[in-house]
Structure 1
Amino acid sequence: MAEIATAEPTRRDFLFIATGAVGAVGVAAVAWPFINQMNPDAQTIAAGAPVEVDLSPIAEGQIVKLFWRGKLIFVRHRTKKEIEEAEKVDVASLPDPQPDSARVKDGHAQWLVVYGNCTHLGCVPLGNQGAYDGWLCPCHGSVFDTSGRIRQGPAPTNLPIPPYAFLNDSKIRIG
């Protein structure tokens, strides 16, 4: 007479299932650090976050330097004289024509926010210098006015404007 196979679980079946479960947990435990290390660290995440700047301690005529997303930003509190001179410029005479009003936010002409690297080779220009009391790039002689517009030298374009918005009259958010 032929033996009939039983479908009853045996101890061996339990061992196969238990070994498979322990193996899967072990593989996950070993793989987790490798997968987790691909996530950006907290400093990288924070570097891309918007930056809020309190404008109240910045004196008239002063330029403050800060970093956003690893890039240098200049925040300049312009004087009335600097604003008037920037507005009087014949835009057609500029290498990169742009009126002063297009470089500042409406109602906040006293505040200029620009990236702080020369558009020629990325040098850091010196503030309150040059023929127009704006910025002077000491490396190659590019001269920017108080509106961040290129006036002389090899720089091809004006200092770029980062994305920013006024939260109130004394605070901005960059980014």
Structure 2
Amino acid sequence: MADTTGAATPEAVADPHDAGHGDGVHRRDFINIAAVSAAGFGGVAVLYPLISQMAPSADVLAESTTEVDVSAIEPGQSIKAVFRKQPLFVRRLTAKEIAAANAVDVSSLRDPQTLQERTKEGHEDVLVTMGVCTHLGCVPLGAAEGENKGEFGGYFCPCHGSHYDTAARIRKGPAPTNLEVPEYEFTSDTVIRVG
């Protein structure tokens, strides 16, 4: 700023060496930013293939869910399906089997669960379990016509003698827990999606 005499004040005089060196980006700053950016892109280029190869393949994703049509299963019948390369039992319970399961004192069970806890609301007659004994992983009998259903009318594991009731709950033998009920949902009144 000029004073009234027309002479320049000391604040208005700029050092010629400071030209272009104000608050802007210096050449050294630009080089540092460019180097860090290049290193970041290089890191992404190296890590992306390593991380993406850990993602499940298309065939694994296809096996992650299974759809089962339960409309053809008559009361008292079971079918076997496959879920994640393991047997899956889907059983339509009769009124008598439902009554037998509900009559059991749950507190007397090794792995206490009611039939209602093991089925979906509105579909208490459809029991979906993994077909793998919880003792050592054998496949229990009782899902196919004419197979031994054990002392409690559910499933019987021939490997070590575990007996399951009509709700697939362990009642006798070495198995520590009930047959596992996988995550599933009814996508319609006749189709379930497991997984």
Structure 2 length normalisation: TM-score? 0.67
Structure 1 window deviating more from structure 2 (122-131 vs 81-90): it is 122-131
Provide the residue aligned with 1:124 in structure 2: 139
**Runs of 4+ residues over 6 Å off in structure 1:** 36-39
Seq. identity, %? 54
In structure 2, distance between residues paired with 1:164 and 1:72: 15
1:114 to 106, 129, 134: 129
1:44 to 60, 69, 78: 60
Amino acid at match of 1:92: S
**Structure 1 residues 1-175: aligned runs within 5 Å:** 41-48=57-64, 50-127=65-142, 129-175=149-195
Tell me the SS of whatever aligns to 1:131. coil
Alpha-carbon offset, residue 75 of structure 1: 0.4
Alpha-carbon offset, residue 70 of structure 1: 1.6
How many pairs align? 143
Tell me the SS of whatever aligns to 1:117. coil
Residues 39 and 165 (structure 1 numbering): CA distance in 2 closer, same or farther, change over 3 Å?
A: closer
Residues 40 and 163 (structure 1 numbering): CA distance in 2 closer, same or farther, change over 3 Å?
A: closer
Residues 40 and 153 (structure 1 numbering): CA distance in 2 closer, same or farther, change over 3 Å?
A: same
Amino acid at match of 2:188: N
- Deviation per CA, 1:120-161: give whole Å up to 9, x if none: 000000016111110000010000001010000000000111
Residues 163 and 37 (structure 1 numbering): CA distance in 2 closer, same or farther, change over 3 Å?
A: closer
Alpha-carbon offset, residue 38 of structure 1: 7.5
Higher-Rg member (1/2): 2
- Deviation per CA, 1:50-105: give whole Å up to 9, x if none: 22211111121111111112222110011110001001101111111111111111
Structure 1 length normalisation: TM-score? 0.75
